[in-house]
Amino acid sequence: MSYLLLVPILAPLVAAGLAALLGWRRLTAYVTLAAAFAVLLSGAILVHRVESGAVFAVGHLLRADSLTVTMLLVMGTVGTLATWASVGYIDAELRDGHTDRAGAHLYAVLLPLFLAAMALAVVANNIGVMWVAIEATTVATAFLVGHRRTRAAFEAAWKYVVICSVGIALALLGTVLLYFVSLHAGASSAHALDIDTLLNNAAQLDPDVTRLAAGLLLLGYGAKAGLVPFHTWLADAHSQAPAPVSALMSGVLLSVAFASLLRVKSVVDLTLGTGFLRAGLLVVGLLTVLIAASLLVVQTDFKRMLAYSSMENMGLVAIAAAAGTKLAIAALLLHVLAHGIGKSLVFLAAGQLQAAHDSTAISAVTGVLTRSRLVGVAFAVGLAVLIGLPPFAMFASELSIARALAGANLGWVLGATLLLLTIAFASLVRNGSRMLLGPPQPDAPTIALPGTVAAAMVTGIILSLALGLSAGPLTALFQSAATQLGASS
Amino acid sequence: MSLATYTGVLDLTAGAFLLAAVLIVWRRELRSIVHLLAWQGVALAAIPLTEGLYEGNPGPVIVGLVVLVLRAGVLPVLLLRAVGTADAERRESTPLVNTTSSLLITAALTMLAYAVTRPIIALDQAAATRAVPAAFAVILIALFVMVSRRRALSQAVGFLMLDNGITATAFLITGGVPLIVELGASMDVLFAVFVLGLLTGHMRRAFGGTDLDQLRELRD
């Protein structure tokens, strides 16, 4: 059973190996889909095993607790939708001449490698290995972002690699400092960076150096999670990447990076108390929501609009983590899952709109609902999820986060956040309704919809509705994750 | 090796490491910047080599040799191949901050590094740990290089310098992170530089240059 922890890493690696040998084919595309589904399945099987505490595998190299399983579920769900849609998406790109066989081959290899790196990041027990995995996602996705090989795509890829690598380098420095204090707290060099060792020794860590390390880790993993001050790569990369990759980056990568931050927080809070990272997360979270909301107001490009909506949501997640109560952490995890599925829907729809119009300008696209029922509905449902309309799950998660903020005596934060969320809400509704309902232009192109993209969209819509109506057994999982992360009640 | 020799060699190495960073700030020719980076790699490798020889421990010596090959050999060669052949490409374009101000800022950053590292030295009085301000200074200088230089290659140099600074910190305060992390981090850096090199080539073909001021298609 402990070998179950290897599945999320090995399944995508096998798919990547096969794709390296055979190139972009139906077979390799579906093996990648099966690998993503295997990630989801292993997460689902692990749900009950981790309730009573973390399980280990391969000596002490891998570790899974409820947070790990939550992230595997997010990764498996969004990964399944994205790899499914990739089949039709890449075929269409090949047909339209936006990519060639070599480009599709590279895509086929890098997409599963990206999944494997994210899986390693959440199941690693050693926070040094976790860092290596997170940086590996940057390397794996660089050429996915630059997939279209246009000037803008290379520019986005360059900025992405440079800004994320620098940001994440700060997290490495923080990790080195944690290793230093862990050694001084008496840990052996082989286990000094293990999450379980750090949690056990947290009270003995030197507070001054830990404070320095925590600040660096917040900035570093924050860079990868799209938080201020290293957020500037996000809109460029998300808008230039192919739609399924945008869905994975926005829906999974940002939250995997944030999960790393939650791991670090669970250790640092035991050493320094909750005050230090609370202050840091509040500043970073509020600034991120502020910047995202301001840029949403002036946005004229629909893929960038979706990217800034991701930033807005990650800022909100950071604010929820700052509140830090069980209610807040459980709500944050539900928020992350719902956001992942909702973002997949809007990005997949946006990909089809971009392909039809050869443009990502909001002004170029109108009347989507009357022109393609399914693309329109997918975009509408995804947008409704993201702005937190009932019955979708982000309505419940945002309500819980608001209650948690009020309960943690952070009323002023709640007020500021609500104001900014309202601004973002208004912009998304204004642009979304224009695109969906505006009068269609007489010469508007037809919106093509490959079968696999349609299938992924229908699945995403059903999942969004189901998650909104009842989180079911997931509620227990999220609460267990919050308890295991040491959240106060 | 006696303690006095060990301390002396270690301080000399840390000094050379920091000096290479300062010279990178001073120089403008891309080719000599890459050469300086290679020398910095040699100074970096000397830290675990010295520690290994002093303690009679083969582990750090092997790590030091790997670092020497990677940081003083492979990575600078990868970067040199990315330096353009056109003459206009060989120099840093008009800098955002002039040389005098840059060197003054470098001095200020070095003092800041001493202030920031005080809690680390307070925890451990070993000779190696007391050299850590030099490594932190290199990290801060590398960040400054990255924000003030306009060539794609200078930014790659800044990134590698940042990484050298972090690796030096690890060697000085902990005798190096566990092997699995060290190997993984080195692989990541190697791949990141490789990706940056490929992107530089693509960008040169797409825009006819690598001045980052030309990267202004995407913005709000």
Among the partner residues B174, B218, B220, nearest to A298 by beta-carbon distance = B220
Q: Do A139 and B199 touch (CB under 8 A)?
A: no
Q: Do A181 and B166 touch (CB under 8 A)?
A: no
Q: Do A193 and B181 touch (CB under 8 A)?
A: yes
Q: How does DSSP assign chain B, residue by residue?
A: --HHHHHHHHHHHHHHHHHHHHHHHH--BHHHHHHHHHHHHHHHHHHHHHHHHHHT-HHHHHHHHHHHHIIIIIHHHHHHHHS-SSGGGGB--S-SS-HHHHHHHHHHHHHHHHHHTHHHHHH---HHHHTHHHHHHHHHHHHHHHHH--BHHHHHHHHHHHHHHHHHHHHHHHSS--HHHHHHHHHHHHHHHHHHHHHHHHHHHHHSS-BGGG--SS--
Which chain A residues touch B152 with a CB distance below 8 Å?
A: 158
Q: Do A132 and B187 touch (CB under 8 A)?
A: yes
Among the partner residues B119, B169, B196, nearest to A176 by beta-carbon distance = B169
Q: Do A176 and B173 touch (CB under 8 A)?
A: yes
Tokens 């081959």 correspond to what residue?
A105
Q: Do A177 and B217 touch (CB under 8 A)?
A: no
Q: Do A158 and B124 touch (CB under 8 A)?
A: no
pLDDT of residue A402: 97
Count CB atoms within 10 A of the CB of residue B98.
9
Question: Which residue on chain B is closest to A145 by alpha carbon?
Answer: B199
Residue to substitute from B177, B186, B189, interface A, most A β-carbons within 10 A: B177
Chain B closest-CA separation from residue A165 CA (Å): 8
pLDDT of residue B210: 67
Q: Which two tokens stand for residue B47?
A: 């830290």
Q: Do A143 and B162 touch (CB under 8 A)?
A: no
Distance of alpha carbon B106 from alpha carbon A237, whole angstroms: 32
pLDDT tens digit string along A192-228? 999 999 999 999 999 999 999 999 999 999 999 999 9
A282-297: b or e for each residue (b if 16 or more CB lie within 10 Å)? bebbbbbbbbbbbbbe
Report in angstroms the alpha-carbon separations of A309 from A291, A414, B205.
11, 18, 34
Give the gyration radius of chain B's Cα atoms: 18
**A59 part of contact set with chain B, CB < 8 Å:** no
Q: Do B220 and A235 touch (CB under 8 A)?
A: yes
Q: How confident is the model at residue B107 (pLDDT cuts 50, 70, 90)?
A: very high
Q: Do B185 and A181 touch (CB under 8 A)?
A: no
Q: Do A155 and B116 touch (CB under 8 A)?
A: no
**A425 part of contact set with chain B, CB < 8 Å:** no
Mean pLDDT of A168-184: 96
Above 0.90 for ipTM, yes or no? Answer: yes
Is the backbone of residue A409 left (phi > 0), alpha (psi -120 to 50) or beta? left
Q: Which two tokens stand for residue A183?
A: 């050694």
Q: Do B120 and A177 touch (CB under 8 A)?
A: yes
pLDDT higher than threshold 80 for residue B215: no
* pLDDT-wise least confident of A12-21, B114-123, B187-196: B187-196
Mean pLDDT of B171-185: 86
Question: Which residue on chain A is closest to B185 by alpha carbon?
Answer: A132
Contact (CB, 8 A) for B34 and B79: yes
* pLDDT-wise least confident of A146-150, A257-261, A381-385, A424-428: A146-150
Chain A closest-CA separation from residue B83 CA (Å): 16
Rounded to the nearest 10 degrees, how much is the dihedral formed by the CA atoms of A381, A386, A391, A392?
90
Q: How confident is the model at residue B89 (pLDDT cuts 50, 70, 90)?
A: low
pLDDT of residue A258: 98
Distance of alpha carbon B73 from alpha carbon B62, whole angstroms: 16
Among the partner residues A193, A206, A236, nearest to B178 by beta-carbon distance = A193
pLDDT of residue B79: 85
Which chain A residues touch B166 with a CB distance below 8 Å?
A: 169, 172-173, 176
pLDDT of residue B157: 92
Which chain B residues touch A212 with a CB distance below 8 Å?
A: 116, 119-120
**Phi, psi values for residue A98, rounded to 5°:** -80, -15
Which chain A residues touch B206 with a CB distance below 8 Å?
A: 150-151, 154
Predicted structure pTM score: 0.96
Chain B closest-CA separation from residue A451 CA (Å): 32
By C-alpha distance, which of A65, A76, A71, A14 is closest to A41? A76
Q: Which two tokens stand for residue B135?
A: 């490594």
**A272 part of contact set with chain B, CB < 8 Å:** no
pLDDT higher than threshold 60 for residue A70: yes
Average pLDDT score over chain A: 95
Q: How confident is the model at residue B90 (pLDDT cuts 50, 70, 90)?
A: low
**B179 part of contact set with chain A, CB < 8 Å:** no
pLDDT of residue B213: 66
pLDDT of residue A374: 96
Q: Do A180 and B202 touch (CB under 8 A)?
A: no
More confident residue, A93 or B95: A93
pLDDT of residue B85: 55
Contact (CB, 8 A) for B43 and B171: no
Among the partner residues B159, B192, B218, nearest to A236 by beta-carbon distance = B218
Q: How confident is the model at residue A168 (pLDDT cuts 50, 70, 90)?
A: very high
pLDDT higher than threshold 60 for residue B86: no
Q: Do A180 and B178 touch (CB under 8 A)?
A: no
Distance of alpha carbon A225 from alpha carbon A229, whole angstroms: 11
More confident residue, A123 or B213: A123
Q: Do A129 and B123 touch (CB under 8 A)?
A: no
Q: How confident is the model at residue A240 (pLDDT cuts 50, 70, 90)?
A: very high
Burial class of A188 by CB neighbour count within 10 A (0 to 12, 13 to 18, 19+): exposed
Contact (CB, 8 A) for B215 and A155: yes
**B50 part of contact set with chain A, CB < 8 Å:** no
Q: Do A299 and B220 touch (CB under 8 A)?
A: yes
pLDDT of residue B87: 47
pLDDT higher than threshold 90 for residue B184: no
* pLDDT-wise least confident of A145-154, A288-297, A400-409: A145-154
By C-alpha distance, which of B85, B80, B87, B93 is closest to B197? B80
Distance of alpha carbon B10 from alpha carbon B125, whole angstroms: 14
Tokens 């095993």 correspond to what residue?
A49
pLDDT of residue A1: 60
pLDDT higher than threshold 80 for residue A121: yes
Chain A neighbours among B 99-128 (CB < 8 Å)?
A: 116, 119-120, 122-124
Contact (CB, 8 A) for A126 and A193: yes
Distance of alpha carbon A2 from alpha carbon A62, whole angstroms: 9
**Phi, psi values for residue A336, rounded to 5°:** -65, -45
By C-alpha distance, which of A121, A116, A144 is closest to A134? A121
Q: How confident is the model at residue A420 (pLDDT cuts 50, 70, 90)?
A: very high
Query: A5: helix, coil or strand?
Result: helix
